Amino acid sequence: MLLRTFLCCALLGAGPLAAGEAPRDPAREQARAALAKRFPSARSEDLRPTPIPGLWEFTVGVEVFYVTGDARFVFRGELLDFVADRNLTDLRRAELRRERLDAVPESMMISFGPKDAKHTVTVFTDIDCAYCRRLHAEMAQINARGIRVRYLFFPRAGVGSEAWQKAQDVWCAADRNAALTAAKRGEKLPHRVCDADAVLRGFQLGEAFRLEGTPLVLSAEGYELGGYLKPDDLLRALEAHAARRPRD
């Protein structure tokens, strides 16, 4: 009952199921039709087969679900390939996050570190978050380990809050990097007004990712690396993901 309620709420207003590709796969079309009948407001242009015959994957935002061909059984869970030693669900979630991150131009982020750094992470941050401040205080060490940090704002208190105003003051500053560093140190910035759509864009993306706390650190591939990580731990996490990256 809880899963059905979640699905119905998540799919409200999403629009009808996308038309099938050509040439059409009869099994996929059958699954599409069954899913549309079960959840009339569903949109599932990403209905895809899984390695398990008769089991299909579909996504709502960055949520990954699995459904039988008749749409009678729908579930969330981790689909693991023990032979390949891969978490297929985690791979798909990362892909969905990466697609959405790639849609955000870097002009709407605040970056620290060279563009040619070996690793790049995207961090959702709140000015007043204690662990966000701790991470930022170690920025020089992070950059020294070949890691570039791209910030997106996620004022946890929401639109119109004091945290939101602080994020806007940083974004509207002439030198955003210096302003962010000052704000993270607790310095009060002058209130400024400008086109601060970047704050809203980051906040909305964080909500789409169902972000519950800050900082949230994501790899360039869209994997969640965690919250605050010491510079060496962050580097180890990035290298571990790079080592497990599928090779063509």
**Chain position carrying tokens 């580097």:** 235
Q: Where are the domains of the chain?
A: 2-83, 101-244
**Residue 193: pLDDT band with limits 50, 70, 90:** confident
Tell which residue, 118, 113, 107, 42, has the closest CA to residue 74: 42
Q: Do the bridges between strand 216-219 and strand 119-125 make them parallel or antiparallel, or are there none, so unpaired?
A: antiparallel
The predicted pLDDT at position 223 comes to 94
Cβ neighbors of 241 (< 8 A, separation 6 or more) are 219, 221, 223, 225
The beta strands (E) that lie in 47-168 are given as 48-49, 55-60, 63-68, 74-75, 80-81, 86-87, 110-112, 119-125, 147-153
What would the mean pLDDT of 196-219 be, rounded to a whole number? 94
**Residue 3: pLDDT band with limits 50, 70, 90:** low
SS3 47: coil
CB neighbourhood size of 200 (10 A) = 16
pLDDT in tens, 5-52: 555 555 544 444 544 444 467 777 878 788 777 776 666 566 888 999
Backbone angles phi, psi at 132, to 5 degrees: -65, -40
The predicted pLDDT at position 10 comes to 53
Specify the CATH number of the domain 2-83.
3.10.450.70
What would the mean pLDDT of 156-184 be, rounded to a whole number? 95
Omega cis (within 30) before 23: yes
Maximum distance among all Cα pairs of the chain, rounded to whole angstroms? 62
Distance CA 118, CA 116 (A): 6
pTM of model > 0.85: no
pLDDT in tens, 82-136: 998 899 999 999 999 999 999 999 999 999 999 999 999 999 999 999 999 999 9
The predicted pLDDT at position 12 comes to 43
Tell which residue, 153, 139, 138, has the closest CA to residue 215: 153
Contact call for residues 44 and 35 (beta carbons, < 8 A): yes
Both tokens of 104, joined, read 């955000």
SS3 68: strand
Is the CA virtual torsion 131, 136, 139, 140 positive or negative? Answer: negative
Residue, of 59 and 142, whose pLDDT is higher: 142
The predicted pLDDT at position 192 comes to 87
The predicted pLDDT at position 7 comes to 54
The predicted pLDDT at position 137 comes to 98
**Chain position carrying tokens 């605050």:** 228
Return the CATH fold of 101-244. Answer: Glutaredoxin (3.40.30)
> Looking at the predicted structure, is the pLDDT value of residue 248 above 50?
no
Q: Do the bridges between strand 86-87 and strand 110-112 make them parallel or antiparallel, or are there none, so unpaired?
A: unpaired
Contact call for residues 66 and 79 (beta carbons, < 8 A): yes
Mean pLDDT of the chain: 87
Distance CA 117, CA 11 (A): 39
